[in-house]
Structure 1
Amino acid sequence: MENQFNNSFFGEEDKIDIKQVVRQYLSYWPWFIVAVVVSLLSAYAYLRYAPRIYETYSKVKVLDESEGLELPTSALVFKRSNINLENEIEILSSFLIMNRVVRQLNLNTVFYEEGTIQTSQIDKLPLDFLQKIKSDSITKTSSYRVLVKSKGFQITNLDTDKVFNFKEHSTFSENHTLPFEIKLNTNIPFVDIEDTAYNIIFKPLKDATLSLKSKVIVEAIGEQSDLLKLSIKGESKELSEKILETLMDVFNEDGIKDRQLVSERTIDFIDGRFKLLAKELDSIEIGRQGFKQDNNIVDIQTDAQIGLEQRTKSEEEVFALENQLELSELLINSLTNDSESGLLPVNIGIENVSVNSLILEYNTAVINRDKVISSGGKNNPVVQLAITEVQNLKSNIDRSLKSYSAQVKASLSQLKSKNRMLAGRVSQIPEQERLFKAIDRQQKIKESLYLLLLQKREEAAINLAITEPSIKVVESALSGIRPISPKPSIVYAGALMAGLLIPFGILYLLFMLDTKLHSKEDINTITSKIPVIGEIPDLRKKKDIIFNDPNDRTPLAESFRILSSNVDFILPVKDGEKGKVIYCTSTIKGEGKTYVSLNLSLALSSINKKVLLIGADLRNPQIHTHISEDKQKPGLSNYLHDVNYSWQDALINGFEKHPNHHIILSGSIPPNPAHLLTNGRFKKLIDEAKEVYDYVVVDTAPTILVTDTMLISQLADATIYITRANYTEKNLLNFSKELSENGKLKNMAYVLNSVGAKKSQGYGYNYGYGYGYGSMDDA
């Protein structure tokens, strides 16, 4: 019930107190002010002497080759697809392009001008400079310092510290091993460069190229744009502008050369193909000629038409001869079958004149015969003569017809043979036409290819002569008027931020790594059930640390008055008027239990209470040091050991202004303190003292070192457990917490000593006093 009351009275706080944390850091405000001042001064010095960095940029448009001059069909060979800006960016920032820029501008030779404070880069020396060493032959970095004196040059090899002195302002007139020659520039006033030092640094090409590659930034302007932005940062605006201008020229020339190389290779390829095509065309034409000669062809179509006409005519002739043959056979059959020698048909189609003439004579003779026979007898000589004439003519016609028929048959046989030959030639015409067309097709293909390549060669020659640029410069290299680095606003803001964050970070680490107690909140965090009844300010630097004067109004006196008031709240209410026993103990040595117990007893005495202070730390007594008494003066150990020794004989009135205050020192240090404290005489002492004094304050031994306090703990009405700010480890509170929870220490309450010893924690006397004073008002 007592602890519950005390916890309720003093309160518990589990949440983080933001104000307390802020106060904790603000108590170190001088650190923050010093850090901010130092940071701002450093920023000022940096801005004063830091090199000025300027940004130089340019903008280009990558041209699509199709936008240039080209013939309508050149797209088949030269037209490229839509521009891929990512590819162009990679080409622009490639090592090959950068290396060409470095070579053109000789960027592996760098110049610096030494100033009073800083050394700044310049684009060229204000002297006539001639580099003797080739760029490719530079394998390692070397540095030289050129000092322009009134009577000559002093050149120092910074790698070997070798000095070269030239009596005149020229190195051309003397022999030396320097990789360069210099002399005065007549266009620059000598007074501007007199007593000025310049640094010349030679770098390998690869190092200079990689350095430039890391400095140049190429990026696209927007997603839908085909513009590229080139930028570089450097000390020399002139040098940066030269670099970007040269980079654009090199990239443009590289694209032009690529396209010219395509044109050149196209022309070379076409020229090579021309020779092959000429040979192939000659071979085809010779084969065409041989084919015509072998097949007796002048023209396939004409020859085919003539062949068809000849075959038709031959067939007609065959038909006519067959008709004559049939007619002849018909007449022969008529002559053979006609026994009476009658008339023969006339003009039936026989084309033989003699036969037709004989037939006419025959028919005339037949008619004449028939007239003679009708007018005379058979034996009439005239009839006989007419009959004989008919028979003779008939024989002649038969012989003539047979002869004509044999002639027709011979002609017909020859004509059919000719007809068969003509038919064979006509039948061969399709195959000859197919073969001739194949030869003709090859000839036409080669001719068309020859003409196409001839056209492409002309196109390639035109493109080679008028190759369009790869890029269009939208903005030439421009440098900003003001440097981009350092920026005063950012530097000062960063310095201010650093001035605040550095001490904050250091303090945060110190607080995080700090394992000491600093305030009652630290105690409440570990054990909220045990109250903290007082916070004693740190007064170690003051001489008066003892509550000598009951009427004293010093912070020390007020803090212990508050403590004494709060002690009354934790003392149990008992019947009778016997005094209360208050133990003062701690975990380890040095936490101030003797200091607190002495001043607490004096604070209780200052309110007209009879108080007895007993030094029960028999192993390391300290009370005698505060009252200038001998350490071996008889005291508690003598009483406990000697049954004949009265404790009243050991009483000391160490403070004149506190007549109600008495002290019993620890006495001689015994070899067996624990045995003495448990022999019963200590309990007798307490019981007798309670009858005489209102409060008995006992300064006991530290609990973690020895068991002396636990042996007599049951005699206490309240146990004041002393902790010390910035001294007591937090984990030691668990030991005292267990002692209280196990009942080994009765009615325990904490007192935090030396509050304010470390101002960073934000707990000074005012906080402790205000807390105690508030407690008294609440009471």
Structure 2
Amino acid sequence: MIENSNNQVAEELSLREVIEQYSRYWYFFVIGAAVALFVAFLYLRYTPQLYQSQATIIIKDEKSQSPLEMAAFSQFGSFLSRFKNNQIENELAIFNSKRIISEAVKNLQLNIKYEVMGNIKTSEMYGYKPFEVQYQSFVESDSREPIPTLYIEMISDSQFVLEDETRSNKTTHKFGERIPLFFGEITVLPNLDAREKFEAYLNRTILVSYSSVERVALDFQSRVNILNTDAKSNVVELSIQTQNKAKGQDFLNELIQQYNKDAVQDRNEIARKTSEFIESRLQIITRELDSVETNKEDFKSTNRLTDIQAEAQITLENASEFNKRQLDVATQLELSNTMIDYMKTSSANELLPANIGISNENVGTAVNNYNELILYRNKLLQTSTPKNPVVQSVNEQISQMRNNILGSLENSKNALKIAMKDLNVQENIISSKISQVPAKEKIFRGIERQQTIKEQLYLFLLQQREEASIALAATSDRAKIVDSAYGSDQPVSPKKPLIYLGALLAGLLIPFGGIYSFYLLSTKVKSRKDVEKQLKSIPIIGEIPKVQKGDSDLIQHNDRSIMAEAYRILRTNLQYLFINKLEESEKGKTIIVTSTIKGEGKTFVAFNLALTLAITGKKVVLVGADIRNPQLQRYLPEHLKANKGLTEFIVYENLEVSEVITKSEYNENLSIVLSGAIPPNPAELLMQKRTAHFIEALQKEFDYVIMDTAPAMLVTDTIIINKLADITLYVVRAGYTDKRLLEFPQDAINDGRLANVAVILNNVDIQNFGYGNKYGYAYSREERSLLQRIFNR
């Protein structure tokens, strides 16, 4: 239970540290959110708004079948469903084709754009326009340069000022005047139907830009959405987003109209071809029927025949069924010959007549499929060349299908001939039974048979012609409009709530990411927590704040600054380290001040610590034990820097301790021992017995002996004299010391190279400092700016 409680407390502390890590930079989040929201406001202010327009239609199924036929093909339901889906997809492709969209753009003149110039941005004009620019002609050129934008300013109801795209040349013209320009000629006509609206645009600059129909059609083709919402139905939804709602509605309505127009033209073309074919056959059959009737009349007149059938009535009644079969076969044979002759004489690009009465269902289906391929190939040729692989593939299919139709007709023709041959044989048998009938009767019956065949074919073609005429007259639109185009009153893009929400999140995430990256990539010690994580077993007895600009590096007399209080806290914490150590001894306490590398402020800390201890009345001596790179003289006047120091005492055995001690000008209780001359063998020099003798002598005379030593990781000097000290103060500089370097003091303690170590965190930023103004308690009156007071800087 205790372990779980400790884990929970650790997790809470960790979460609180993370929150504090970011909350101390709250002003970055406020500024980031404010800037992001302002940018979002500007974006929404100057970004064109888009409105959604949509329409709903139903594509009629021209190949719908009767209930009996559907029941007969119910077992092929999945196949029919796939065929239906493919049909809808084909129609959607036609809807979204550049050819259909180009017609809609051309009819609505959407390739000519009118915009009124505002103070900051231009707004598109649609619907009412104060004038209309008619592009009368264009100069033929191979450069294909875009036609420049025209700037037109109406100065009255009869005159206007015209500028080119560079706006360097102004010319005044009258409405209706034919104006020659380098790209062609234009005419500007005023729209005076609404006088008040016209006058509202006086002295305002209107931009007129012309684009090719193809380019505008491609733009609309990329933006229009045509979807079959339900695969089980023929319902199609069309939608588009435009800056002007009325423009989108007009475009969708015109697109539907152009689609219906195209579908009607396709169906009328088939009906006209069929009608022309039937009309040509009727003329031939009419002449043949007249010829047969004339032969019958001449035969009866020549042979003076009246009622020949009465003589062979009984025999003919028995052969009536046989004659009927002969007529049917002869009719089909004639139709087959006619169709074969037409296909051999007609071009491969022409449509074939459909539904002319051929009983072979395969031929009728093949003819319909052939006509559909011809129409599909013609549509492809409108938008591509004959060398297009798709067109060539379709041409191969057409050629193959035409050959198949001819083959089917030839096979049907041969079968009919065989059937007719069999019927003729049977006719001879019957003729032998009526041998009593004169030969004239047989000739007469042949003439009548020909007459009946021609009459049936003539009546059939008349019926087909009427049906084709009715189909041509009753052609209806392919797309039934369910809902005409309508648009939303509110813009669909840009979405204000989403933009503001995204901007707010970005404004918060960018500072968050920056702070996170800063802490993630930074390897420097920032605060007390960074040291505690690395050196868990070493106590931190003090935090020294960063010296502000203009402040003194050293503690002054009666100093009430945050830094002075930090050293007082350090002095107090230091006393706890000396508990049970040398309590009854009369010797002074020895303190070593060191660091990992150069520049971490050990000399600064040692000098101020010595001043702080001296203020209490204790006798303190500060020894410059860094004999490789002395820094203590920085805080001494020039005339004292040449004094003898530690190096001279160790080298010259006749030199007394008192000869190297110098009184400090900062405090009467503070004495200083300089490093002295830099020796060639500093490590060996510190190992001499004179070094220990020197420290013992100082301990007898002073209450505190503070030694400013060399960096512990760079040289071995500190390790050598560490055994002579009571406490080792290890200085870590915030914002300078690498966290990875903190592994060295931990390893040195574990190995026994350093003993009795305590850490001092130097140069702590005020916002990471654990005392003083952070909690609203200061020892000096500070003059801070408003921003510093707001941000607690």
Work out whether the TM-score is over 0.5.
Answer: yes
- Corresponding residue number in structure 1 for 2:58: 61
CA distance in 2: counterparts of 1:445 and 1:597, whole angstroms: 132
1:666 maps to 2:675: yes
Q: How does 1:195-344 map to 2 (within 5 A)?
A: 195-221=203-229, 226-267=234-275, 302=315
Tell me by how many angstroms 1:71 deviates.
14
Tell me by how many angstroms 1:118 deviates.
0.6
> Which stretch of structure 1 is more off in the superposition, 84-93 or 727-736?
84-93
Task: Give the counterpart of 1:120 among 111, 120, 123.
Answer: 123
Please list the CA deviations of residues 213-256 of structure 1 after superposition, one character each: whole Å capped at 9, or x if unmatched: 12222234566664333222222233222211211111222232
- Corresponding residue number in structure 2 for 1:712: 721
Q: How does 1:688-767 map to 2 (within 5 A)?
A: 688-756=697-765, 759=767, 762-763=768-769, 765=771
1:182 maps to 2:188: yes
Q: How does 1:376-395 map to 2 (within 5 A)?
A: none
- Corresponding residue number in structure 2 for 1:146: 151
1:110 maps to 2:113: yes
Identity %: 34
Quote the RMSD (CA, aligned, Å).
Answer: 4.7
> Which stretch of structure 1 is more off in the superposition, 248-257 or 189-198?
189-198
> Does the Cα contact within 8 Å between 1:516 and 1:725 map onto a contact in 2?
yes
- Corresponding residue number in structure 1 for 2:133: 129
Tell me by how many angstroms 1:271 deviates.
6.0
1:592 maps to 2:601: yes
Residue identity in the other structure for 1:429:
I
Report the 3-state secondary structure (helix = DSSP H, G, I; strand = E; otherwise coil) of the residue aligned with 1:141. coil
> Does the Cα contact within 8 Å between 1:636 and 1:647 map onto a contact in 2?
no
CA distance in 2: counterparts of 1:280 and 1:687, whole angstroms: 149
CA distance in 2: counterparts of 1:304 and 1:167, whole angstroms: 98
CA distance in 2: counterparts of 1:500 and 1:253, whole angstroms: 56
CA distance in 2: counterparts of 1:454 and 1:646, whole angstroms: 146
- Corresponding residue number in structure 1 for 2:647: 637
Relative distance call for 1:279 and 1:543 in structure 2 (3 A) is: same
Tell me by how many angstroms 1:745 deviates.
2.5
Tell me by how many angstroms 1:486 deviates.
3.9
Relative distance call for 1:252 and 1:667 in structure 2 (3 A) is: same
- Corresponding residue number in structure 1 for 2:429: 429
> Does the Cα contact within 8 Å between 2:292 and 2:451 map onto a contact in 1?
yes
- Corresponding residue number in structure 2 for 1:380: none
Residue identity in the other structure for 1:515:
T
Tell me by how many angstroms 1:527 deviates.
4.2
CA distance in 1: counterparts of 2:648 and 2:125, whole angstroms: 93
> Does the Cα contact within 8 Å between 1:103 and 1:135 map onto a contact in 2?
no
- Corresponding residue number in structure 2 for 1:166: 171
Q: How does 1:187-586 map to 2 (within 5 A)?
A: 187=193, 188=195, 191-221=199-229, 226-267=234-275, 302=315, 429=429, 455=463, 457-549=465-557, 552-569=559-576, 573-574=580-581, 577=585, 578-586=587-595
Residue identity in the other structure for 1:128:
E
CA distance in 1: counterparts of 2:71 and 2:467, whole angstroms: 11
Residue identity in the other structure for 2:594:
T
Tell me by how many angstroms 1:665 deviates.
2.1
Report the 3-state secondary structure (helix = DSSP H, G, I; strand = E; otherwise coil) of the residue aligned with 1:64. coil
Tell me by how many angstroms 1:117 deviates.
0.9
Residue identity in the other structure for 1:637:
T
Tell me by how many angstroms 1:212 deviates.
0.7
CA distance in 1: counterparts of 2:575 and 2:24, whole angstroms: 33
Q: How does 1:27-46 map to 2 (within 5 A)?
A: 27-46=24-43
> Does the Cα contact within 8 Å between 2:590 and 2:725 map onto a contact in 1?
yes
Task: Give the counterpart of 2:658 among 623, 648, 652.
Answer: 648
Please list the CA deviations of residues 656-713 of structure 1 after superposition, one character each: whole Å capped at 9, or x if unmatched: 6562x33222233444433432333222222332334443221112234433323333
Residue identity in the other structure for 1:131:
Y
> Does the Cα contact within 8 Å between 2:161 and 2:173 map onto a contact in 1?
no
Report the 3-state secondary structure (helix = DSSP H, G, I; strand = E; otherwise coil) of the residue aligned with 1:117. coil
Whose Rg is larger? 1
- Corresponding residue number in structure 2 for 1:310: none
CA distance in 1: counterparts of 2:209 and 2:105, whole angstroms: 14
CA distance in 2: counterparts of 1:700 and 1:539, whole angstroms: 22
Residue identity in the other structure for 1:217:
N
Residue identity in the other structure for 2:173:
E
Residue identity in the other structure for 2:177:
F
Tell me by how many angstroms 1:609 deviates.
4.3
Please list the CA deviations of residues 24-61 of structure 1 after superposition, one character each: whole Å capped at 9, or x if unmatched: 22222232232333333333333444333322222223
> Does the Cα contact within 8 Å between 2:150 and 2:164 map onto a contact in 1?
yes
Structure 1 gaps, min length 5: 1-11, 286-296, 307-424, 771-779
CA distance in 1: counterparts of 2:714 and 2:232, whole angstroms: 81
Report the 3-state secondary structure (helix = DSSP H, G, I; strand = E; otherwise coil) of the residue aligned with 1:712. helix
CA distance in 2: counterparts of 1:256 and 1:510, whole angstroms: 69
Residue identity in the other structure for 1:523:
V
CA distance in 2: counterparts of 1:704 and 1:654, whole angstroms: 30
Please list the CA deviations of residues 526-546 of structure 1 after superposition, one character each: whole Å capped at 9, or x if unmatched: 443444333222233252443
CA distance in 2: counterparts of 1:284 and 1:580, whole angstroms: 149
CA distance in 2: counterparts of 1:447 and 1:737, whole angstroms: 120
CA distance in 2: counterparts of 1:246 and 1:205, whole angstroms: 15
Residue identity in the other structure for 1:167:
T
Residue identity in the other structure for 1:254:
D
Report the 3-state secondary structure (helix = DSSP H, G, I; strand = E; otherwise coil) of the residue aligned with 1:58. strand
Equivalenced residue count is 620
CA distance in 2: counterparts of 1:460 and 1:451, whole angstroms: 14
Superposition TM-score, scaled by structure 2 size:
0.67
CA distance in 1: counterparts of 2:723 and 2:677, whole angstroms: 25
CA distance in 1: counterparts of 2:150 and 2:115, whole angstroms: 9
> Does the Cα contact within 8 Å between 1:631 and 1:668 map onto a contact in 2?
no
- Corresponding residue number in structure 2 for 1:618: 627
Tell me by how many angstroms 1:555 deviates.
2.0
Residue identity in the other structure for 2:162:
I
> Which stretch of structure 1 is more off in the superposition, 510-519 or 455-464?
455-464
Tell me by how many angstroms 1:570 deviates.
5.0
Tell me by how many angstroms 1:130 deviates.
0.6
CA distance in 1: counterparts of 2:708 and 2:601, whole angstroms: 10
CA distance in 1: counterparts of 2:282 and 2:50, whole angstroms: 60
Residue identity in the other structure for 2:656:
S
- Corresponding residue number in structure 2 for 1:52: 49
> Does the Cα contact within 8 Å between 2:152 and 2:161 map onto a contact in 1?
yes
- Corresponding residue number in structure 2 for 1:155: 162
> Which stretch of structure 1 is more off in the superposition, 99-108 or 590-599?
99-108
Q: Report 1 or 2 for greater relative contact order, CA contacts < 8 Å, sequence distance ≥ 6.
A: 1
CA distance in 1: counterparts of 2:18 and 2:650, whole angstroms: 50
> Does the Cα contact within 8 Å between 1:538 and 1:765 map onto a contact in 2?
no
Please list the CA deviations of residues 280-333 of structure 1 after superposition, one character each: whole Å capped at 9, or x if unmatched: 999999xxxxxxxxxxx9979828999xxxxxxxxxxxxxxxxxxxxxxxxxxx
CA distance in 1: counterparts of 2:223 and 2:691, whole angstroms: 87
> Does the Cα contact within 8 Å between 2:160 and 2:174 map onto a contact in 1?
yes
- Corresponding residue number in structure 2 for 1:774: none
Please list the CA deviations of residues 145-173 of structure 1 after superposition, one character each: whole Å capped at 9, or x if unmatched: 31315375443332xx3755333333725
Tell me by how many angstroms 1:728 deviates.
1.7
- Corresponding residue number in structure 1 for 2:352: none
Superposition TM-score, scaled by structure 1 size:
0.68
